[in-house]
Structure 1
Amino acid sequence: MLTQDQIEQIAAELEQAERTHTLIERITARYPEATVEDSYAIQDMWSRRRLAAGHRIVGRKIGLTSKAMQDATGITEPDYGVMFDDTVVHTGAVLDFHAFTNVRIEVELAFVLKADLVGPGCTIMDVMRATEYVVPALEVLNSHIQLEGRTIVDTIADNAAYGAMVIGGTPTPPHAVDLRRVGAMLYRNEIIEETGLAAGVLNHPAAGVAWLADKLHQHGQRLGAGQIILAGSFTRPMWVERNDTIVCDYGEMGTITCRFV
């Protein structure tokens, strides 16, 4: 396992990489002995630095919950990251392409909680009861660690590659629609690139939220009322370039658009 000094040093490097929009060397290339628990400790230290700088946590993201994403990354277990107040934008947003590195888009559903959600043993029904509404969302992936050869340890330490969330569409009570059958069509510059069903996330998108509640319990944390939880992508990540216009059609749940300049 890594020492506390090493964890603090890597967190400082990640903070600098975020500020300068650069990449650092893979953690596992420098410290092959680093564990998943080390990576969450790095993420937590980085989060504490952001909190100290005046930012506020508004939710969590879950990653690698679908077969499509696991195949795309070669990583076979879920992970999670932290979402801060300055990373959430609404449909129609114009985003600075150069504020991110290795820019990719994922198609997701976001759960907005009306009650705390606490593990262990959290179930899909627990998630449904604790959810005020579900809404379409796009996740913008952002890397601060070199992509080639990265493992789950590198990804988690890099805040699960979270960059921003674009939220929009129609807020929908969780029991008003069969969440497993929510579909989406993702377009880049009017060309359809990806399609998928939300069932691709662990057979039910609420299953990802239940997994997160249990995982956070292991780290002495919980999901709180009012938080936004990105349940995981049900399409492969789509690469984005400067001047791209993105549209994602969720059918009855509405449409999200954004543009990178």
Structure 2
Amino acid sequence: MPLTDAPAKARLLYEARRDRTAIPPFTDADPTLGMADGYAVQSELTKLLVADGEEIVGYKVGLTSKPMQKMIGVDSPDFGPVFASTVYRDGDSIPLSRFIQPKIEAEIVFVLGERLEGPGVSLTQAARAVAGVAASVEIVDSRFADWRIKLADTVADLASNGAVATSSRLVPLADVDPRLIGMTLTRNGHLVDTGAGAAALGDPVAVVAWLANTLGANGIAMEPGHLVMTGALHAAVPMAAGDVWRADFDRLGPVTLRVVEGTTEETK
């Protein structure tokens, strides 16, 4: 298969997601693949999943912190869709069996109250479109073996999306400064890491503006109710069955999830 064959690469990722089996990174065979190649595959993969009945309910933005950008070797974020089937609520149990090699990240999530379409969206316009801010934890997963990913790989793989759990409490943006929101992450009651909102592009609202402008360049708008995951506030941590994770956010409150061995059908 040609290395640039986006539909064929998308089919490989589609099958890896379906079978929960990791595949070799695309950049093993062609190290020259870049961000544009990744998004071409992502577009084809998204079409396959939507055809299966998936519904896009928002977007996740990754690589928003300087350490993560340095690790991957980029100077800008990436994004991928969030599907309705991957959204959980505070206190839910999440089955380990739906992932391949999951890790957990605590993030600030925005919920849009207005349609937002770039390009040309300013920080002020992005803030105006936000209905509220909530606590969340994202489960990232990779369909590529051993997380041996480069930029093209993670972009193709829907920005390494897995699932997300969000709190039910939505705080008006006018009541908080997202840059100053502190966070602690615990596993089974033991502190794992800490973070602050400013880790995400210096201001999580800037993530919303960046996403709106990036999507807008491709003729895509964000709609009311859409989630915007703004990126990890700390290094991703591997998770295992039996874990109880809790992220406590200043002003936003906590969000908790339990990791179980069960199947998706048993818990969702």
TM over 0.5: yes
**Higher mean displacement: 7-16 or 220-229:** 220-229
Query: Is contact 2:197–2:204 with CA below 8 Å preserved after alignment?
Result: yes
- Percent identical among aligned pairs is 33
Which residue does the alignment assign to 2:11?
12
Deviation of the 1:143 alpha carbon: 0.8
The one-character-per-residue Cα deviations of 1:171-223 (angstroms, maximum 9, x if unpaired) are: 11111111111111000111101101101111110111111111112222121
Secondary structure, in 3 states, of the residue corresponding to 2:194? strand
**For the residues of structure 1 that align with 2:70 and 2:194, how far apart are their CA atoms?**
16
Structure 1 residue 84 corresponds to structure 2 residue 80? no
Deviation of the 1:5 alpha carbon: 7.7
Deviation of the 1:4 alpha carbon: 9.8
Deviation of the 1:72 alpha carbon: 5.2
Structure 2: gaps spanning 5 or more residues: 261-268
Which residue does the alignment assign to 1:163?
162
Mapping of residues 238-257 of structure 1, within 5 Å: 238-257=237-256
The one-character-per-residue Cα deviations of 1:68-91 (angstroms, maximum 9, x if unpaired) are: 433555554310011111000001
Structure 1 residue 181 corresponds to structure 2 residue 202? no
Which residue does the alignment assign to 2:266?
none
**For the residues of structure 1 that align with 2:162 and 2:106, how far apart are their CA atoms?**
14
Query: Is contact 2:59–2:227 with CA below 8 Å preserved after alignment?
Result: yes
**For the residues of structure 2 that align with 1:49 and 1:73, how far apart are their CA atoms?**
27
**For the residues of structure 1 that align with 2:27 and 2:159, how far apart are their CA atoms?**
15
**For the residues of structure 1 that align with 2:157 and 2:42, how far apart are their CA atoms?**
7
Q: Letter of the aligned partner of 1:247 in structure 2?
A: R
Secondary structure, in 3 states, of the residue corresponding to 2:145? coil
**For the residues of structure 1 that align with 2:193 and 2:89, how far apart are their CA atoms?**
21
Query: Is contact 2:104–2:137 with CA below 8 Å preserved after alignment?
Result: yes
Mapping of residues 48-59 of structure 1, within 5 Å: 48-59=47-58
The one-character-per-residue Cα deviations of 1:106-140 (angstroms, maximum 9, x if unpaired) are: 11111111111121222221111001111111110
Q: Letter of the aligned partner of 1:24 in structure 2?
A: I
TM-score (norm 2): 0.92
**For the residues of structure 2 that align with 1:88 and 1:132, how far apart are their CA atoms?**
18
**Higher mean displacement: 141-150 or 179-188:** 141-150
Which residue does the alignment assign to 1:225?
224
Which residue does the alignment assign to 1:126?
125
Query: Is contact 2:134–2:171 with CA below 8 Å preserved after alignment?
Result: yes
Query: Is contact 2:72–2:151 with CA below 8 Å preserved after alignment?
Result: no
**For the residues of structure 2 that align with 1:25 and 1:49, how far apart are their CA atoms?**
20
Query: Is contact 1:97–1:242 with CA below 8 Å preserved after alignment?
Result: yes
Structure 1: gaps spanning 5 or more residues: none
Query: Is contact 2:59–2:80 with CA below 8 Å preserved after alignment?
Result: yes
Q: CA RMSD in A?
A: 1.8
| Change beyond 3 A, Cα 1:201–1:247 | same
**For the residues of structure 2 that align with 1:239 and 1:169, how far apart are their CA atoms?**
25
**For the residues of structure 2 that align with 1:58 and 1:24, how far apart are their CA atoms?**
27
| Change beyond 3 A, Cα 1:231–1:203 | same
**For the residues of structure 1 that align with 2:24 and 2:173, how far apart are their CA atoms?**
41
Which residue does the alignment assign to 2:257?
258
How many pairs are equivalent?
Answer: 260
**For the residues of structure 1 that align with 2:238 and 2:32, how far apart are their CA atoms?**
31
Query: Is contact 1:69–1:234 with CA below 8 Å preserved after alignment?
Result: no
| Change beyond 3 A, Cα 1:17–1:255 | same
**For the residues of structure 2 that align with 1:23 and 1:58, how far apart are their CA atoms?**
26
| Change beyond 3 A, Cα 1:75–1:22 | farther
Secondary structure, in 3 states, of the residue corresponding to 2:251? helix
Query: Is contact 1:139–1:164 with CA below 8 Å preserved after alignment?
Result: yes
